[in-house]
Amino acid sequence: MSVFDQASSSSNSNEELSNNKHTFNDPCDEFAPFSDSELKELLQNDEIPVSKRSRMLYALKQWTESEDKMKRAIDILSVGFKSKSALLRHEIAYVMGQMRSEIAIPILENILSNLSEDSMVRHEAGEALGAIGSPSALPTLEKFVNDQYREVRETCELAILNIQYQQEKAKNPQNNQDSIFSPFSSVDPAPACSDDKKLKFDDIKNTFLDLNKPLFERYKAMFTLRNIASQYLELDKHDYMLCYKRKAQAIEVLCQGLLNPEEGALFKHEVAFVLGQIQEQSAADALESTLRDKNQHAMVRHEAAEALGSISDPESLKLLEEFQADEVEAVKDSCVVAIDMHNYWSAFLSLHKNNDEEEQ
């Protein structure tokens, strides 16, 4: 049996996940039986649905328990850059950055330096270098701060500032008033502000919306709004109703940034990503509007699609099904991945609901 047949006939196959919302399968278990060489073959095989290969990326991202296993994971991931799918290549770069291993730096530098590569993939490679945080990547990033593509230019600018921030934080941790860590599992391209500061919601909002503010400061405000929206950061700890109101306001402000036609593609795509992390249905209309707008950059529409997949409501699923034949390949692939994500989270929530009912 070939690797393709084994993947397709697996009890955890993409088809089964798509057809059974109540079957929850951990991607780490799904790909555990495969050897490294088989995983490489799977990842670069464009006949296999991109949704299934995206689940593989999630599984490989967990290979961090030892330096040897991380090295093996990055070796497998690097083969995926041979895929024709720009979305998959972009996701591989993202995962490498999230793993934060310096082993990936030369691979990511090559992707960023490849001017024939899709700008969305190059941007993700630049952001990944920033996430890893090694100053050894600074010379490469500095080469592309004047790149022909705005999303690449801005990404390199942010990555440089993020690396410098991380280096300064490491030298003087007692002087730092921002939080480099995310309440989510993600390594972010800028730190959120911590509640050690005397933060005011209107100041955060105004910084986020101000097109004249430095992009790094606006990103910090963006992730602070995310933390408020997820109630990880409570500005008014002694007033429950005000905290709840702040959550709704933070989502509203993020949606305002997403829908602003004057914003750049990089900024809007990050807002869509953040809204996907928050997973609140109140953001669905703004995300739908973004996905439907074919004048938007592909990286913005793709991120809106994946955010809708994480929200996991029936209306979002219908919308994703509508756009899974979009003429823009990255958007089409994102809708396929988002439907898979929708089914994953629906199954996850169903499993926990059933477990809670059994305990009662």
Summarize the annotated binding site for Fe cation as residue ranges: 90-91, 123-124, 269-270, 302-303
* 14, 52, 272, 343 from 314: Cα distances, Å: 19, 21, 19, 10
Indicate the residue type of 348.
F
Terminal alpha carbon distance of the chain:
45
What's the CA gap between 130 and 188, in Å, rounded? 9
DSSP secondary structure, 201-216, as one string = HHHHHHHHH-TTS-HH
What's the CA gap between 23 and 209, in Å, rounded? 42
Name the binding residues.
Answer: 90-91, 123-124, 269-270, 302-303
What's the CA gap between 263 and 282, in Å, rounded? 21
Indicate the residue type of 45.
N
* 91, 224, 341, 346 from 96: Cα distances, Å: 9, 24, 20, 27
Burial of 134 per CB tally in 10 Å (0-12, 13-18, 19+): middle
Do residues 270 and 222 make contact, with C-beta atoms less than 8 angstroms apart? yes
3-state secondary structure of 67: helix
Burial of 270 per CB tally in 10 Å (0-12, 13-18, 19+): buried
Backbone angles phi, psi at 126, to 5 degrees: -65, -45
